[in-house]
A and B are shown apart, each in its own frame.
Chain A
Amino acid sequence: EVQLLESGGGWVQPGGSLRLSCAASGFIFSDYAMNWVRQAPGKGLEWVSSVNAFSGDTYIADSVKGRFSISRDNSKNTLYLQMDSLRVEDTAVYYCAKAITATSPRPHSWGQGTLVIVSS
């Protein structure tokens, strides 16, 4: 059974940084692309970033480009999201999601999410 456990969320002031982690189990982590998706309070789902399985190619939404970066450590079965220069509008539940293939985002299996609050 696919299990994804996000951690690292919390409260941070505008301009601050956080690093989210997603511990994966129940599947061969290195074989699948991985995603971060977020949901701001009262809003819909927004794709944030993805990283391919083999090439390590990364893709990122325009709304966070230059501030967020995604990475993965296949030896630790862990996905990361480094978030810098955080803004109030980055407040959201951040979900880690396993893709259905190695090379395209296509979120398929999701974690329970971790809450990030950006506020002064």
Chain B
Amino acid sequence: QSALTQPASVSGSLGQSITISCTGSSSDVSSTDYVTWYQHHPGKAPKVLIFDVIKRPSETSHRFSSSKSGNTASLTISGLQAEDEADYYCSSYTTRRTEVFGSGTKVIVL
């Protein structure tokens, strides 16, 4: 199972909005509502930002939102803040009942 495709890095200035894409296939993203987005600061445990494509845990800021169309899911960060600088991963449930992660995106706050 190949990793889902994400841009290696995305940058934005404080207060701006950025969007991270996550492209899969008919075996994963396009065939499931179980797409998850994680924030990962190096040396810490990954943290769920969004699950089931659009659901936000109570502790996730409303600045994080997501969507899916076909085989591509997207995460948008609004009002970019310094603490948003981290690695972001998508993951998807697959038709083989496994999980596949995205290649990861480094968000750089300018």
Contacts and interface: CB of A to CB of B under 8 A. Distances in A.
B99 A112 contact: no
Interface residues of B, number: 25
A112 B45 contact: yes
A12 interface: no
Contacts of B46: 45, 95, 107, 110
Contacts, number: 62
A119 B101 CA distance: 26
B58 interface: no
B93 A105 contact: yes
Contact of B36 (A61, A106, A111): A106
B69 to A, nearest CB: 21
Given A104-B97, A107-B99, A44 B45 contact: no
Query: Main SS of chain A's interface residues?
Result: strand
A105 B99 contact: yes
Interface in A31-59: 35, 37, 44-47, 50, 59
Given A45-B89, A108-B51, A59 B97 contact: yes
Query: Main SS of chain B's interface residues?
Result: strand
B51 to A, nearest CB: 6
Contacts of A113: 45
Interface in A9-40: 35, 37
A45 B1 contact: no
Contacts of A62: 1
B24 interface: no
A62 B91 CA distance: 17
A45 B40 contact: yes
Given A106-B36, A112-B45, 14 more contacts: A35-B99, A44-B3, A44-B89, A44-B102, A47-B101, A50-B99, A59-B97, A59-B98, A61-B1, A104-B93, A105-B98, A107-B46, A108-B48, A112-B44
